[in-house]
Amino acid sequence: MLTVRKTCHFHAAHILDGHAGECCNLHGHTYRVTVEVAQRNDEKGDMVIDFHDLKKLLAEFVEAPFDHAFIYDSTSSSESEIAGFLQQRKMKTASLPYRSTAENMARYIFQLLRKEINVIAVRVHESDDSSAEYRYQGE
């Protein structure tokens, strides 16, 4: 199987409402997202996807919605309240249907990109030495 990987970066803030550690406070990360794409079984050739095309997809589905945004859990009333306050002031927010952990962000980005390309893994780094990955396991 042929695969390729492409990485993008974005800066964002979030909180983990109800978390017992320091992440219950508003804080930010310089996120690094790496997407792995595979050639479909029925495809032949020596290119999985043009890197330029993959870069455009990452810009549209990852960087544009998340860069310099407050990422929040839309099921949390307190996080939604903070997001509402920011939105009233024309500040950028991005909602997830669950907590904004690296694990959930990897899953969310995977699900978005899966509709567009044959993505098999998404890794989200919150720092140089901490990451989470969502990987396709077959249906």
Annotated catalytic sites, by residue?
A: 23, 68, 126
Angle at 93 between CA 92 and CA 97, to 5 degrees: 165
Residue 58: helix, strand or coil by DSSP?
helix
Distances (CA, A) of 124 to 50, 69, 76, 131, 135: 22, 16, 22, 5, 12
